[in-house]
Amino acid sequence: MTDLGYDGRVAVVTGAGGGLGREYAFLLASRGARVVVNDTGGSTGGEGVDDGPACTVAREIRDQGGEALADTHSVATPEGGQGLVRAALDTYGQVDIVINNAGILRDAAFDDTTAEVLDPVLDVHLKGAFFVTRPAWAGMQEQRYGRVINTVSAAGLLGTAGKSNYGAAKAGLVGLTRTLALEGAAHGIKVNAVAPIALTRILTQSMAKREAPQAAADHEAEPVASAMTVDRMRAFVDRLAPALVAPVVAYLAHEDCPVSGEVYTVGAGQVSRFFIGRTKGYFNPALTMEDVRDHFVEISDQTEYTVPSDPGEEIAQLFKVIGGRSEHA
Ligand SMILES: NC(=O)c1ccc[n+]([C@@H]2O[C@H](COP(=O)([O-])OP(=O)(O)OC[C@H]3O[C@@H](n4cnc5c(N)ncnc54)[C@H](O)[C@@H]3O)[C@@H](O)[C@H]2O)c1
């Protein structure tokens, strides 16, 4: 089998000045992609700007013989997204790949989740994916080719206390991923998502807060992963290299990517698919509140479940049950 390459494709990687995005940018560039390295270079909370991280990564790629452009637009505004895509088009003439990776944390208990901690997180993670992908979408439709990778999180898929803003933004990206997969299908555009687990400053900060919750005098929240202690995470941190997430993102960004609308969790070289399942459930055409109480175990039972690919398939399953039952009524 031959190695996978990008054959001059152009990739926009947001938040590529460090952490996971940096690894994505390096891997894509090393396989022939021309890469726009976007990053505002601020703090983990999104404060401040610094063109250093984006410029350094772009320079390092060029030093290694790759092609890269540094960009410091913020993904958190429509103007920023347009400016970023414009920079890519002006320099390279096309955008084939968008990796929405930029991220910030403003953890807070739900009581303390004021607009000040909610809006910036929604703006960067959720709206940022709209603001960057939309300007690139028209060109992808025209060229009948595109790859979009969104970055979600177990905090959104499964929930994590103290991260309602972040979890809601990340779960929202799942809906965006699945919807764009459907809209892009007729135009050769594939849209998928990854939920990474990697030792970056975001994970380090979350772990530090869990270790010293009292130190969060500003009411930023403490928990990072309700089911896993920091001690257990610490035992594995040296295995959680961001570079081990990059191959999955790179494959989803490649022409050969066989799927669209899917979510993969990846960390330390372990890759799995997340999916949304529907239990077989319970049906009663004269359903009452008490029926719900009395059949709750059956409703929740996971032994027989399906994974509907879209709302049409889910409704078809419902109609099958209704139709089957009425035939026998
Ligand atoms: N590390 C993990 O275990 C983990 C887990 C789940 C999800 N994620 C997600 O992975 C992505 C990458 O995070 P990371 O772990 O590499 O952390 P990171 O802090 O190293 O990287 C995030 C980057 O985004 C940049 N950024 C922030 N706001 C921006 C903006 N408005 N415009 C452009 N760039 C901006 C930052 O400057 C930073 O370089 C994030 O979306 C994060 O939520 C990470």
- Per-residue model confidence as pLDDT tens for the chain (329 residues): 789 999 889 999 999 999 999 999 999 999 999 999 999 999 999 999 999 999 999 999 999 999 999 999 999 999 999 999 999 999 999 999 999 999 999 999 999 999 999 999 999 999 999 999 999 999 999 999 999 999 999 999 999 999 999 999 999 999 999 999 999 999 999 999 999 999 999 888 877 776 655 444 443 434 445 456 667 777 888 899 999 999 999 999 999 999 999 999 999 999 999 999 999 999 999 999 999 999 999 999 999 999 999 999 999 999 999 997 544 33
Same domain, 26 and 138: yes
Q: Is 156 in the pocket of ligand 1 (CB under 6 A)?
A: no
pLDDT of residue 233: 76
Same domain, 322 and 200: no
Kindly give the distance from the C-alpha atom of residue 302 to the centroid of ligand 1, in angstroms, as a whole number: 34
Closest C-alpha among 110, 147, 99 to residue 260 = 147
Same domain, 44 and 170: yes
In a domain, 5, yes or no: no
In a domain, 1, yes or no: no
Same domain, 299 and 262: no
Q: Is 166 a catalytic residue?
A: yes
Same domain, 75 and 207: yes
Among the candidates 259, 274, 289, a domain finishes at: 274
In a domain, 301, yes or no: yes
Same domain, 103 and 128: yes
CATH code assigned at 78: 3.40.50.720
Number of domains forming the structure of the chain? 2
Same domain, 228 and 292: no
Q: Choose the catalytic residue: 166, 264, 282, 305.
A: 166
Candidate from 119, 127, 149, 200 with most ligand 1 atoms within 8 A of CB, to mutate? 200
In a domain, 167, yes or no: yes
Same domain, 67 and 186: yes
Q: Containing domain of residue 181, as a range? A: 10-274
Same domain, 202 and 315: no
Element (H, E) at 57: helix 52-63
CA distance 248 to 269: 9
Candidate from 22, 24, 27, 39 with most ligand 1 atoms within 8 A of CB, to mutate? 39
In a domain, 4, yes or no: no
Same domain, 309 and 219: no
Same domain, 151 and 283: no
Sheet holding 34-38, edge to edge: 67-71, 34-38, 10-13, 97-100, 146-151, 189-197, 263-267, 270-274
Q: Is 173 in the pocket of ligand 1 (CB under 6 A)?
A: no
| 323 contact partners, CB below 8 Å, separation of at least 6 | none
pLDDT of residue 153: 98
Please check whether residue 155 is in contact with residue 218, taking contact to mean a CB–CB distance below 8 angstroms: no
pLDDT of residue 292: 98
Please check whether residue 257 is in contact with residue 192, taking contact to mean a CB–CB distance below 8 angstroms: yes
**Cα 56 to chain centroid, rounded:** 24
In a domain, 3, yes or no: no
Give backbone dihedrals phi and psi of 37, rounded to 5 degrees, phi first: -95, 100
In a domain, 264, yes or no: yes
- Ligand 1 atom nearest residue 267's Cα: 3
pLDDT of residue 235: 81
Same domain, 68 and 148: yes
In a domain, 50, yes or no: yes
